[in-house]
Amino acid sequence: MSDTEDDDGPEIPEPRGRGRPEHVPDNRTRATVQVMYANGMSRRTIAKAIGCDPRTLTKHYRAQLEDAHDQVEAAMGVAIVASARQGAWGAARYWLQTHSKDDRWRTPEPHSIAGDPNGPPIRVELDSMTEAEIVAELETLRERRRMADGARALAETLPKRSNGMGH
pLDDT digits (tens, 9 = 90+) for 14-73: 655 676 688 899 999 999 999 999 999 999 999 999 999 999 999 999 999 998 999 888
Residue 30 pLDDT? 92
The C-alpha atoms of residue 123 and residue 107 are separated, in whole angstroms, by 18
pLDDT digits (tens, 9 = 90+) for 127-140: 777 888 888 888 88
* Residues 6 or more apart whose Cβ sits within 8 Å of residue 96: 102, 105
Bigger pLDDT: 135 or 160?
135
Domains of the chain, by residue range, sit at: 27-66, 69-105, 108-157
